[in-house]
Chain A
């Protein structure tokens, strides 16, 4: 036996209203995709919802990945091979579980870090419309425009962060490659030039004690 205090009816109304609104869900994730691996994500979408899938490869190899998006019946809505960055918007034509997969099966030894952002539906309004009798006041509409502007700032910031991470990853690769190959070349240079002298000297060595060997 328990006692519910507060206003349970109102609370249930709020919950129900939110469920009816086609609840917004934007998921963004960064994950690591090992070589020869495929990773799939699933989401249940209601018919008529506008969805956007955006992905970008952050680190690894040639910074590309295969992506495929399927609807509940298995029809491929979007398929691209070896893409570095793309954005795809669609409206859900069926109810059910949509599936999108990222595949790194073409790569033999590089694993990739992939970022994706899957937006389903629109964001909930800042000021709920259920019991609204008048239009939004000036202050409220100012809040709404600030909110929209901040959302796009966050969006641009994420893109900038990903591009910077990608650039930094390339710069780190370049740095190690330059160091490695420079040391390697210096060593090769020394070894080759010393062995040149030794080889030439060996051509002119005394023939009394050693038989000339014809090099192949």
Chain B
């Protein structure tokens, strides 16, 4: 597999993929049952590119007698719970998407491994790494670069960090405005309903007194 990958994609891309694989293999993982879907929530502003790397492995590598085809179905939902993309991948892959609406996006992972019928309750582990922004941290430092190039790379990395911060802060302003609108709406609702309830109380009180007075007069009790 590795030879084929190197030939088709070139050395640099292969190295990057291998690095990502190694990074992911040591990364945090969580358990995923067969056909179980687990979602993570990411707060993403509009027009931001999100890259997710994942790796699916059997829970107990030694106990697996045969190697089934492990696969992952990745479903991405936008803040309105509509599906943005749904795609099947092998056990190691990268999923990218650009958010079209600001808000909470749901990245859901579900295994659809074949040949699982014998080991019905097998657990799998899913390694996950989600990065936001166009320029993910480029760990592929080339030794043959001179200092100026390294400096330029670092500066462009810093600029990307700052653009990310600015984008997040703009998004934060939008959300804070929504928050303020909700609070002001609650404030006016409290005032309005208090007035309505007081007026209902007064008017019903008057109505009660009037009806009872008429009633008692009619019944000649007063």
- The verdict on A75 contacting chain B, using a C-beta distance below 8 Å, is no
Q: A194 to B142, alpha carbons, bound, how many Å?
A: 84
Given A41-B30, A139-B151, are A30 and B3 neighbors across the interface (CB < 8 Å)?
Answer: no
A44 near B197: Cβ-Cβ < 8 Å: no
**A167 in complex: contacting residue of B43, B130, B161, B179, CB < 8 Å:** B179
Given A161-B172, A178-B190, are A189 and B200 neighbors across the interface (CB < 8 Å)?
Answer: yes
Q: A8 to B164, alpha carbons, bound, how many Å?
A: 34
Given A161-B172, A168-B182, are A40 and B189 neighbors across the interface (CB < 8 Å)?
Answer: no
- The verdict on B7 contacting chain A, using a C-beta distance below 8 Å, is yes
The dominant DSSP class at the B interface is helix
A124 near B189: Cβ-Cβ < 8 Å: no
Stretch at the interface among B34-42, B61-69, B81-89: B34-42
Given A25-B23, A126-B154, A201-B215, are A168 and B179 neighbors across the interface (CB < 8 Å)?
Answer: yes
Q: Which residues of B contact A27 (CB under 8 A)?
A: 27-28, 128-129
The dominant DSSP class at the A interface is helix
- The verdict on B101 contacting chain A, using a C-beta distance below 8 Å, is no
**CB-CB contacts of B162-183 with A at 8 A, as 1s and 0s?**
1011001100100110110011
- The verdict on B31 contacting chain A, using a C-beta distance below 8 Å, is yes
Q: A168 to B179, alpha carbons, bound, how many Å?
A: 5
**A157 in complex: contacting residue of B144, B172, B216, CB < 8 Å:** B172
A40 near B30: Cβ-Cβ < 8 Å: yes
- Extra contacts, 5 of them, besides A118-B28, A182-B197 (Cβ < 8 A), are A31-B38, A154-B164, A171-B182, A183-B193, A194-B204
| 28 A-B pairs with C-beta separation under 8 A | A2-B3, A2-B7, A10-B143, A13-B143, A15-B22, A27-B28, A39-B30, A42-B28, A42-B30, A44-B26, A118-B28, A124-B139, A127-B150, A143-B151, A143-B158, A157-B172, A164-B172, A175-B185, A175-B189, A178-B190, A178-B193, A185-B197, A186-B193, A186-B200, A189-B197, A189-B204, A194-B204, A197-B208
Q: A5 to B172, alpha carbons, bound, how many Å?
A: 47
Q: How many residues of A contact B (CB 8 A)?
A: 69
Residue of B nearest to A205 (CB): B219
Q: How many residues of B contact A (CB 8 A)?
A: 71
Q: B81: shortest Cβ distance to chain A, in Å?
A: 13
**CB-CB contacts of B115-158 with A at 8 A, as 1s and 0s?**
00000000001001110000000011111100100110011011
Q: B175: shortest Cβ distance to chain A, in Å?
A: 6
The 6 A-B pairs at the shortest CB distance, nearest first, are namely A182-B193, A30-B41, A193-B204, A168-B179, A27-B28, A43-B28
Residue of A nearest to B162 (CB): A150
Q: B132: shortest Cβ distance to chain A, in Å?
A: 10
- The verdict on A135 contacting chain B, using a C-beta distance below 8 Å, is no
Q: Which residues of A contact B129 (CB under 8 A)?
A: 25, 27
Q: Which residues of A contact B130 (CB under 8 A)?
A: 29
Q: Which residues of A contact B168 (CB under 8 A)?
A: 157, 161
A147 near B158: Cβ-Cβ < 8 Å: yes
Stretch at the interface among B11-19, B70-78, B90-98: B11-19
Q: A149: shortest Cβ distance to chain B, in Å?
A: 10
